[in-house]
Structure 1
Amino acid sequence: MAARDPVCGMLVDPATTAYSVEARGETYHFSSELCRDTFIRGEKIAYFSMEIGIESEIPTYSGGLGVLAGDVIRSSADLLIPMVAVTLINRKGYVRQRLTPEGDQIDSADEWDPKEHMRELSRRVTVRIGDANVAIRAWLYDYWSPVGGLVPVFFLDTDLPENAPEDRGITDHLYGGDQEYRLKQAIVLGIGGARMLAALDIRVGKYHINESHSSLLTLELLRHPGMDEEKVQMQCIFTTHTPVAVAFETFPRDTAIRLLSAEIPPTLLDEYIGEDGLALATLAFRLSKYVNGVTTAHMNFSQQLFPGFHIRAVTNGVHPHTWTSGSFRDLYDRYIAGWAQEPELLVRVDAIPHEEIRHAHRQAKQALVDYVREKNGVDLDPEALTIGFARRAAAYKRATLLFSDLDKLREAGRRGAIQLVFAGKAHPADAVGKQEIREVHDALRDLDGEVTGVYLENYTMDIAGLMTAGVDIWLNTPLPPFEASGTSGMKAALNGVINFSVLDGWWIEGWIEGTTGWAIGPGPGAPVSEEERRRQELQDLYSKLEYLIIPTYYLRKDAWVTIMRSSIAKIAYYFNTHRMMRRYATEAYL
């Protein structure tokens, strides 16, 4: 049985190849001595992220940040970028959501067994947190690209018998606990993660800090002999995903000093922890040479927040093959050979006949209809205009904006049937987010009999795949400028689903009115009051739905498919992680 060379991606015969190596509890096979030696001694990009969404069954993600990290890993493997990834095991996940008929979210731990998905490594490292030595082990998940190479993902775990009970739980909950708990997680991820890579003899050329949770790795690097601030900066890349100052967490100085003083020399603590406390984002900005936001608009906002730093823009993307439904994969395979590895080829989608695009979408829509019937007992009409909205339930996402005027929504529905499919979890401590979910349920009950709607429980990557392929319109209504990027609409575009979105994040770059979709309200920099912004948003939301979207869907079917095709050709070809990782490789990694 053939194996794949993890360095060059070539198929090799394990029985005949002269080049193999035992490493981390696995045997790897190579096509040449050079590939084997590169695997053993070659420098790697170390990608650190608090959350990584690699499978629905591994609930170590909460939303876009983690799913993006998973797509980074997938594209890096496809493109043979020499990367390893580091995250926390999050044994109890983010939250398992159960919804009552009234829309109340019932929280429980989303527990899972690492042994069913990855293998435990024998190596241990220790970090001193306060007055306790905390042992850390790693679980290894090898992500193999079907067409390229390998990216190992190391999941750090403190649930070891030698640790105190409170320290065994440090890696249990994603974004759980109080500030002290979250700082302990940052120590394990940043300092412990850097030590684990060193203990595993992995040579790191660059450290990519995906959001600031892991930025303490910079202080760990500064402790190494011969290192100084400039040398650390040259090794570190920082991608910020946060668009507003209040979202950057600062840990109290006394807490930071107490937890870090046993590991970090006093001179470094005094230099990098201010009187107002430890800001992990500021630490990452100061000790990274390459810093980027995740869209052009986000770069501009970040530059205003941190005017002393040079900030670039690398717009996010999604992994093409993962987020393209089976029916559209088959369609692209027939007409656009090589699209998955070179998604820019999707610009040629005009070669695909309208009827074949319709057929592929009908198949994806039927899969969603079947899922809704099975899980919610609701019969959606596969011929009716279906609008999808799914993301973390947070106030700024404004899941309820569509329901601001139910009479206008009913009026639009009389021009043509509308169906609504919602999904999303609220953080267990987010009372406002939970209230948003209740209000969506209230609105759907009020609309019953006039507008069909469902709220899908326990949103996962698998449900995201069904929704972004199976609806007709992807709705996004964040409050600008809080959406640094967003990626769900990019997934939708891969499947010909049309975006209807507030002009924030990536949509500012992808939007061509009436060609790739429709905008809601003014741009984030428009000189209007918040009251006027909301008035314009509601005007666009209801008038475009009633007078543009519904008539086009029901009466101008060829025009509708033309927009679907334009969405693929002008969005999916560009807003993907293959393009994104090539940018990082040429600008930041080399």
Structure 2
Amino acid sequence: MDFLDRAVQRTRFAYFSMEIALRAEMHTYSGGLGVLAGDSARSAADLDLPMVFVTLVSRQGYARQEIDNSHAQVSHADPWSPQDFATALPQMVAVSIEGRAVWVRPWLYALECQLGHVIPVLLLDTDLAENAVEDRRITDALYGGDQAYRLKQEIVLGVGGQSVLRALGFRIEKYHLNEGHAALLTLPLLKGTRRPDGVHASDPIDSYDVSAVRKRCVFTTHTPVEAGFDKFDYDLVERVLGDYIERDILAHLAGADQLNMTHLALNLSGYVNGVARRHAETTRKLFPGYTIASITNGVHVHRWTHGAIARLFEQQFSNWAHEPEVLAFADQIGDNALWSAHGDAKHDLLARIAQATGRQLRPDLPLIGYARRMTAYKRPELIFSDMERLREIANAQPFQIVLAGLAHPNDGGGQEAIRALGAHIDALEGTIPAVFMPGYNLDVAAALVAGCDVWLNTPLPPLEASGTSGMKAALNGALNLSVLDGWWIEGCVESVTGWSIPSNGAEASDAGALYDKLRAVVLPLYHGDRGRWIWMMKQAISKIGSSFNSHRMMRRYVTEAYLR
């Protein structure tokens, strides 16, 4: 506990996130939002930032994926044991939910970096004997249950997380809300600014010092469409949250018709940012009148670089993991050394594919990878839009495809996409070797981004807020082939760091543009000019790895958001 005592004394900034990806065995994440939070924490540790991270324990995880014989996703609970990785702290706090006192206990996970610095991560848990049976389940399932369940979770995260920090003695100067799920943390801050009862304001909101709350909160939004924001009916809010804050105050800050968590965060945060330049532009159109800055996401270089590639970096510049900017000089790595290291990463991926699927792919053929959350706007089936044309391309210039990804158990469209991908794979048998990797998690993702030759991304613009998988692939020398959306608008130097897929949003024309680029540019280069391909690999590492990393991202948050 000496570590926690030191952390309490020095910590100034708190980062709240519904999910965080710390390690594959801790099922406290579902996708990109949690992976970003985990990379943020790793960089905070590397940079020895005075930070604490707060999330839910999510004892039953998100979903463990199985693919059945009909290619359908079967979702299972994915439980894990906090005591195997974290320490239960004795301090407990109570929050009021549906008029009951719900006790919250934090687990402490000590995230230690290679330099020896340690960052505290607090995992909030309601599975306590002091709680009613239904309340013990609040921190079980990540993004599970109905609206009431989600609201209870967000009360535990925001209101409970605030109380836990105070109980442990943390004195927080700035709170970082990673998406709107954490917006309720602003309410305890707001309550703390209420003016004395004797002061009567003409407008109820003037009874609170909103500006004081805004000075203490930073909000990062990741959602580029209104439909993606968490919203709760006020009748539900009154039933679950009670009279914690007057309804007219909530309506003023979070929306007249429903409690919109994004609106609440916008109105009570002094610094708001999108996660890529294009995303910030989209967000400004969604919320005219608000000042929306832009800090493009990044990835943790040491976490996502394959060991063989990392050893090359270590030989060339030993400080690369702490100072990723030096990767700008990665274009000086020898061609043979880089190609050999990539071959090791590809071999490891092919071995993992063979073990998981029984299919043995070839190391000498280009491998196109696509792996991400399975949902409609990401258009996972785009490459299969015209099967005859795909076969014609492959007959002339052979290639292979590996796919992976997890659909939310309640996302019918995402589940159907996985079934359809399985059917496409069957239909291509004998022409294009293709596999779907089941059980998508952090370790599978790391193997995929390191071992593929081409990293494919086909979202419907402008719905990709940022995306980070392509950054991870580029660290390992994989070349991005992507629609110009999210971060790729900033990272794409055509035929240098990868390739763009022209998009007008229509599936047929976007698929045609993808096929044209594969047939005329990507595959001829791989098969016919190995030297130029390796040159592009080095350009991708040096230009993308040196810029799109979480160290750069966290330094910007500190200087532009936390210290302002």
Task: Name the CA shift for 1:149/1:298 in 2 (closer, same or farther; >3 Å).
Answer: same
1:82 aligns with 2:82: no
2:413 aligned residue:
432
Quote how far apart the aligned CAs of 1:274 are: 3.7
SS at match of 1:215: helix
2:515 aligned residue:
542
- Given the alignment, which residue of 512, 525, 528 partners 1:555? 528
1:582 aligned residue:
555
Q: Is the 8 A contact 2:370 2:403 kept in 1?
A: yes
SS at match of 1:67: helix
Q: TM-score, normalised by structure 1?
A: 0.91
Quote how far apart the aligned CAs of 1:270 are: 4.9
1:325 aligns with 2:325: no
Question: 1:530-564 deviations in whole A, cap 9, x for unaligned?
Answer: 44xx3432222111111211111011000100111
* Alpha-carbon distance in structure 2 between the residues aligned to 1:253 and 1:225: 23
Q: Is the 8 A contact 2:181 2:230 kept in 1?
A: no
1:195 aligned residue:
163
1:184 aligns with 2:130: no
1:472 aligned residue:
453
- Given the alignment, which residue of 10, 24, 46 partners 1:56? 24
The aligned amino acid for 1:539 is G
* Alpha-carbon distance in structure 1 between the residues aligned to 2:285 and 2:83: 46
The aligned amino acid for 2:347 is Q
Quote how far apart the aligned CAs of 1:287 are: 0.3
Question: 1:413-434 deviations in whole A, cap 9, x for unaligned?
Answer: 1122211111111100111101
Counterparts of 1:90-489 in structure 2 under 5 Å? 90-225=58-193, 228-265=209-246, 268-489=249-470
* Alpha-carbon distance in structure 2 between the residues aligned to 1:342 and 1:246: 39
The aligned amino acid for 2:509 is Q
SS at match of 2:521: helix
Task: Name the CA shift for 1:56/1:40 in 2 (closer, same or farther; >3 Å).
Answer: closer
SS at match of 1:449: coil
Question: 1:163-214 deviations in whole A, cap 9, x for unaligned?
Answer: 1111111111111111111011110000000000000001101000000101
Q: Is the 8 A contact 1:415 1:550 kept in 2?
A: no
Task: Name the CA shift for 1:122/1:440 in 2 (closer, same or farther; >3 Å).
Answer: same
1:27 aligns with 2:2: yes
Quote how far apart the aligned CAs of 1:294 are: 0.2
* Alpha-carbon distance in structure 1 between the residues aligned to 2:69 and 2:8: 55
* Alpha-carbon distance in structure 1 between the residues aligned to 2:160 and 2:2: 26
Question: 1:133-187 deviations in whole A, cap 9, x for unaligned?
Answer: 1111111100011115221000001111221111111111111111111011110
Task: Name the CA shift for 1:134/1:411 in 2 (closer, same or farther; >3 Å).
Answer: same
Q: Cα RMSD between the aligned structures?
A: 1.4
* Alpha-carbon distance in structure 1 between the residues aligned to 2:444 and 2:139: 26
* Alpha-carbon distance in structure 2 between the residues aligned to 1:543 and 1:517: 15
The range that moved more, 315-324 or 264-273, is 264-273
Quote how far apart the aligned CAs of 1:40 are: 4.3
Quote how far apart the aligned CAs of 1:249 are: 2.3
Count of residue correspondences: 550
Q: Is the 8 A contact 1:257 1:269 kept in 2?
A: no
Aligned-pair identity in percent equals 47
Q: Is the 8 A contact 2:218 2:269 kept in 1?
A: yes
SS at match of 1:86: strand
Quote how far apart the aligned CAs of 1:130 are: 1.8
The aligned amino acid for 1:506 is W
Q: Is the 8 A contact 2:65 2:76 kept in 1?
A: yes
1:569 aligns with 2:542: yes
The aligned amino acid for 2:100 is A
Which portions of structure 1, spanning 4 or more consecutive aligned residues, are displaced by more than 4 angstroms? none
- Given the alignment, which residue of 41, 56, 78 partners 1:73? 41
Give the unaligned 5+ runs of structure 1.
1-25, 30-35, 523-527
* Alpha-carbon distance in structure 1 between the residues aligned to 2:494 and 2:9: 51
The aligned amino acid for 2:276 is T
* Alpha-carbon distance in structure 1 between the residues aligned to 2:92 and 2:486: 41
Task: Name the CA shift for 1:91/1:554 in 2 (closer, same or farther; >3 Å).
Answer: same
* Alpha-carbon distance in structure 2 between the residues aligned to 1:520 and 1:66: 28
Question: 1:487-541 deviations in whole A, cap 9, x for unaligned?
Answer: 000000000000000111000110111111111123xxxxx5x44xx34322221
* Alpha-carbon distance in structure 2 between the residues aligned to 1:42 and 1:333: 32
Quote how far apart the aligned CAs of 1:28 are: 3.6
Quote how far apart the aligned CAs of 1:86 are: 0.3
2:199 aligned residue:
none
Q: Is the 8 A contact 1:256 1:277 kept in 2?
A: no
Q: Is the 8 A contact 2:60 2:77 kept in 1?
A: yes
The aligned amino acid for 1:551 is P
* Alpha-carbon distance in structure 1 between the residues aligned to 2:245 and 2:257: 18
Question: 1:366-407 deviations in whole A, cap 9, x for unaligned?
Answer: 000111111111111011110100001101111110000111
Q: Is the 8 A contact 1:77 1:145 kept in 2?
A: yes
Quote how far apart the aligned CAs of 1:261 are: 2.3
SS at match of 1:136: strand
Question: 1:547-588 deviations in whole A, cap 9, x for unaligned?
Answer: 211111011000100111110111111000000001001111
The range that moved more, 409-418 or 208-217, is 409-418
Q: Is the 8 A contact 2:8 2:168 kept in 1?
A: no
